[in-house]
Amino acid sequence: MPNRKAAPEIVDAVDFDLRLKPCDRFTLDNGVPVYAINAGAEEVVMIEWVFYAGNWYEEKNIVAATTNFLLKNGTKQKNAFAINEHFEFYGAYLNRQCYNETATISLHCLAKHLHHLLPVVAELITESIFPEEELAIYKQNQKQRLEVNLKKCDFIANRLIDEYLYGFHHPYGRYTSTLDYDQLQQDELKAFYKRFYVEGKCLVFTAGKLPGDIQQQLNKTFGHLPLNKQLLPETIFNLQSADEKKYHILNDANGVQGAIRIARPFPNRHHPDFPRVQILNNLFGGFFGSRLMSNIREDKGYTYGIHSYLQNHIHNCAWMISTEAGRDVCEATIEEVYKEMALLRKEPVPEEELDLVRNYMMGSLLGDLDGPFQVIARWKSYVLNNLEEAYFYNSIATIKTVSPEALRELAEKYLQPDAFYELTVI
């Protein structure tokens, strides 16, 4: 029995010996790789089908996102209502998401109902028909949502800063207009669907308290499908960053708040500086106790929150500072951001502050590994970014050992105001 009169020993998160649970791997008969984490106390399973069907591969704007959204809106055998009714009957949740390079179908359900649900997922992958009436509803809803969002300064800022960083014709910098929705055609969706879903490159990730026959169930339902039959197109996009670095956009003459984005291009996760820059970013603006929050939110009171982060893209990345502030203090907010950059370039961070960030990052990692769904999400990130398990342990070693002087040198290298694009939208 623990002694309730004695306080437990306090252990810093940085002293934890974190371990990444190994990921089981097997391959279906058609070559589709499956990554599995068998853990958890509840009889719940998550399965995610990842297709290389993001907007990186579309020839016409928003075809990828529309195809992904309408996957569950009708097949040769079921209409949208019947599909949703089927999953709801078994207490399951089916979702789909489209990203830059990939698009997903994800299923959360009780393990005992898998044999009822997997065949319908396979039906979505092979027999979706994209009914004209469903497409028309989708167009109308998306155009209405876009018209509302275009009145918001933060929405405009997010669109424009990516265009300045990557160029409008790059998948990361492209955005939609109402005209794009008007020009969508059913035949375009069907062609994209056939190439990138029916015969597309697919990976499967599953986690939870998996049934003993999970491999047999997946292989029976999906192992005979014509997936992974075609090679992905070798699509290369060159960055076309804007020539100008500073922009001030008036979106609402009566607006009282401005959206601020300050960003620069940055290497992806394979660059040797990336793990150490993640630590520098947390010091700078990556968590609630960061310098940007302490200065601009707590001291100056210019904003409710300000954050900096490294974008999680597979190919090209960016270092982004994002906030919304009062219209009359936008310029002052930007000045304070550059002042904090200058301090990081000039002075090594105090050890006490660095220890705080170390513990925050290790604690965040610990939370990110709390449960099988979180563990498989980390493995998914590594697989899609072509990283090995060693990346996890190298990142931990970097958090524990990086020196204040090394961070100052990184700040000198990357936190130069001239390298950043600056955008204010009011």
Handedness of CA 62, 67, 70, 76 (dihedral sign): positive
User: What average pLDDT is seen over the chain?
Assistant: 94
Helices (H), 41-79: 63-69
- Beta-strand pair 33-38/24-27: antiparallel
Is a pLDDT exceeding 90 seen at residue 235? Answer: no
407, 283 contact by CB (below 8 A): yes
- What's the confidence (pLDDT) of residue 5? 85
Residue 15's pLDDT band (cuts 50, 70, 90): confident
Positions of E strands within 181-316: 202-208, 246-249, 257-266, 306-310
Residue 91 falls in which region: left (phi positive, over 0), alpha (psi -120 to 50) or beta: left
d(CA 44, CA 107): 10
What are the structural domains of the chain?
24-222 (3.30.830.10), 246-425 (3.30.830.10)
**CA proximity to 158, closest of 239, 246, 261:** 261
- What's the confidence (pLDDT) of residue 339? 97
Average pLDDT over residues 402-422: 97
Residue 16's pLDDT band (cuts 50, 70, 90): confident
| Kind and range of the H or E run holding 318 | strand 317-326
d(CA 337, CA 417): 9
Is a pLDDT exceeding 90 seen at residue 252? Answer: no
- What's the confidence (pLDDT) of residue 14? 81
d(CA 136, CA 66): 11
Is a pLDDT exceeding 80 seen at residue 153? Answer: yes
Sheet holding 246-249, edge to edge: 246-249, 421-425, 257-266, 317-326, 306-310
- What's the confidence (pLDDT) of residue 8? 79
Q: What percent of the chain has pLDDT over 70?
A: 100
- Residue 238, token pair as written in the block: 């060159």
168, 96 contact by CB (below 8 A): no
Residue 324's pLDDT band (cuts 50, 70, 90): very high
Residue 6's pLDDT band (cuts 50, 70, 90): confident
Is a pLDDT exceeding 80 seen at residue 201? Answer: yes
- What's the confidence (pLDDT) of residue 10? 78
Is a pLDDT exceeding 90 seen at residue 303? Answer: yes
276, 402 contact by CB (below 8 A): yes
3-class DSSP assignment, residue 25? strand
**CA proximity to 407, closest of 346, 339, 359:** 346
CA distances from 180 to 22, 104, 142, 220, 317 (A): 44, 23, 11, 40, 26
CA distances from 389 to 18, 19, 49, 203, 297 (A): 13, 10, 21, 18, 38
Is a pLDDT exceeding 80 seen at residue 1? Answer: no
Residue 423 falls in which region: left (phi positive, over 0), alpha (psi -120 to 50) or beta: beta
Residue 67 falls in which region: left (phi positive, over 0), alpha (psi -120 to 50) or beta: alpha
- What's the confidence (pLDDT) of residue 3? 82
pLDDT (tens digit per residue) in 157-187: 999 999 999 999 999 999 999 999 999 999 9
Is a pLDDT exceeding 90 seen at residue 50? Answer: yes
